[in-house]
Amino acid sequence: MKIIAVTLAHLLVAAFAVSAAEDRREKVLKDRTEVQSIPQWIYNDLSKGVAEATRSGKPMLIVLRCIP
Amino acid sequence: MECKAFDEQLVRRDPEVADLMDRFVSVRLIQANAMDLGLFQFDYDLTFAVFFVNADKTIYGRFGSRSSQKDAAKEISIEGFRKAMQAALELHQNYPANKAALAGKKAPEPRFKVPEEYPSLRGKYRPTLDYEGKVVQSCMHCHQVRDAERELYRTQGKAIPDEVLYPWPMPDVIGLAFDPKEKAKVKAVTSGSSAQKDGFIVGDEILTLQGQPILSIADVQWVLHNTNGPAKLKADVLRGGQRLSLNLTLAEGWRRQSDIAWRPTSWDLRRMATGGLLLKEFPAADRRKAGLSDTDLALMVEHVGQYGDHAAGKRAGFQKNDVIVSVDGQTGRMTESQLFGYLLQKKMPGAKVSVGVLRGEQRVNLELPMQ
């Protein structure tokens, strides 16, 4: 009985983890699609940002975002 | 407001800041993989942070602060962000004449250039995300950098130093609270604090700290973060239109007053120090009922970890609602954050620490394994 309960608990945790990962996957992909559609943003490419800042003479505003 | 909402305001270029954003090259980075640790030193427990940077990678300032789990965005506002942007643009206009004053905004070269060089992260991540495959698993979180740094000390059997255990202290540790709608304007000074003794008053605006131009609360934190031990910091302050110079005294052990319990990285500290136990202050009324004074140690077990290394406390016999009243012979009042410091600086992995708990009316002695 105890083994069944522990197994069920582990399965529940695993199912939750898979669901959370799926949720985050959607968020990460959505973030890329949305931000890349806005021309003023350079997405996930610091070198490109540095090159553009050098060319334009503007400073960089770098947002670090860890998508939870 | 949540960090997410604030972040979305920037992404869609909120009208309140769009005009200033046009004067920057806007870059969004969403991974810690291959992150340049020489440039991007910030509070890795944050999920949102901003750097204002010259093309030559001179840092003008940082933005983004947090002090609690529930109210993630109480230290930031779009008004404060706008003022930080304006100040960054002024610094950019005066660059490179002001280069010397900005030198302290960047730390000396770190031991590891990118997170993947930390032993506990080595070989686990690629420099780019796997968008076509398991993108989530391929993405390293910023907090993993702090976890990896602490793990390095632990696996080497060394005490984790204060600056690694209590990173990015909020200014309330020294008695200052800032208005999030301003750059670094004092909105409250704690009575009896070192800041009050140093002469700070409500309304003071810190213009520079240790010679560094201050654009935000995060910039104040940067200076605090890089100050070890007792010190007197030099602050240029604007008060009623007049500039004046004040000292900001950091007393011995000042950093240990920081509350780090809210930080995501404290989850791993709980594994190391308390075997997965989540501890909360025992309420004052319950202290009195239990015959404990305000100066006695009394931390209640709010949650007992259930799996793997986080179940070490459970396996040692700890139960939810146990009240810890002694640790290794220590019976003086400590917060959970201070207990982390005591255990992770004095007890190495493999050690067992005797812990006395109150369980209802009973006193129980247990042994907590260090990991």
Residue B70: the pLDDT is 79
Same domain, B278 and B364: yes
Q: Does A8 touch chain B (CB under 8 A)?
A: no
Same domain, B308 and B347: yes
Whether B248 is in a domain gets the answer yes
* pLDDT, tens only, B101-124: 999 999 889 999 999 999 999 999
> Does residue A5 register a pLDDT over 70?
no
Whether B155 is in a domain gets the answer no
Same domain, B236 and B325: no
Tell me the CA end-to-end span of chain B in Å, nearest whole number. 37
> CA-CA distance, B213 to B226, in Å (whole number)?
15
> Does residue B10 register a pLDDT over 60?
yes
Look at chain B and count its residues. Answer: 371
The answer to whether B12 contacts A46, with C-beta atoms less than 8 Å apart, is: no
Same domain, B180 and B236: yes
> Does residue B131 register a pLDDT over 70?
yes
Q: Does B10 touch chain A (CB under 8 A)?
A: yes
Same domain, B303 and B217: no
Whether B275 is in a domain gets the answer yes
Same domain, B249 and B285: no
Q: Which of B256, B281, B309 represents a domain boundary (last residue)?
A: B256
CA of B15 vs chain A CAs: smallest distance (Å):
14
Whether B35 is in a domain gets the answer no
The domain of B210 spans: 171-256
Whether B337 is in a domain gets the answer yes
Helix (H, G, I), strand (E, B) or coil at B235: strand
Measured between CB atoms, which of B11, B47, B88 is closest to A68? B47
Domain at B197, CATH number: 2.30.42.10
Whether B125 is in a domain gets the answer no
Pairs from B362-369 (Cβ < 8 Å, separation ≥ 24)? B363/B325, B364/B317, B364/B322, B366/B316, B366/B317, B366/B318, B367/B316, B368/B274, B368/B275, B368/B312, B368/B313, B368/B316, B368/B318, B368/B327, B369/B275, B369/B312, B369/B316
Q: Which of B202, B223, B256 represents a domain boundary (last residue)?
A: B256
Q: Does A34 touch chain B (CB under 8 A)?
A: yes
Q: Which of B209, B237, B256 represents a domain boundary (last residue)?
A: B256
CA of A23 vs chain B CAs: smallest distance (Å):
10
Cα B334 off chain centre by = 19
Whether B44 is in a domain gets the answer no
Q: Does A13 touch chain B (CB under 8 A)?
A: yes
Same domain, B232 and B273: no
Residues 32-61 of B with CB under 8 A from A: 32, 36, 40, 42, 46-55, 57, 60
A18 Rama sector, left if φ>0, alpha if ψ -120 to 50, beta otherwise: alpha
> CA-CA distance, B247 to B230, in Å (whole number)?
13
The answer to whether B25 contacts A46, with C-beta atoms less than 8 Å apart, is: no
Beta strands B352-359 and A60-65 are unpaired
Residue B83: the pLDDT is 98
Q: Does B86 touch chain A (CB under 8 A)?
A: no
Q: Among residues A45, A43, A46, A62, which one has the least CA distance to residue B42?
A: A62
The secondary structure of B26-40, three-state, reads EEEECCCCCCCCCCC
The answer to whether B139 contacts A28, with C-beta atoms less than 8 Å apart, is: yes
Q: What is the predicted ipTM?
A: 0.95
Q: Among residues B284, B354, B295, B281, which one has the least CA distance to residue B323?
A: B281
The answer to whether A65 contacts B24, with C-beta atoms less than 8 Å apart, is: no
Same domain, B217 and B282: no
Among chain B residues, the shortest Cα distance to A58 is held by B24
Into how many domains does chain B fold? 2
Same domain, B275 and B362: yes
* pLDDT, tens only, B245-295: 999 999 999 999 999 999 999 999 999 999 999 999 999 999 999 999 999
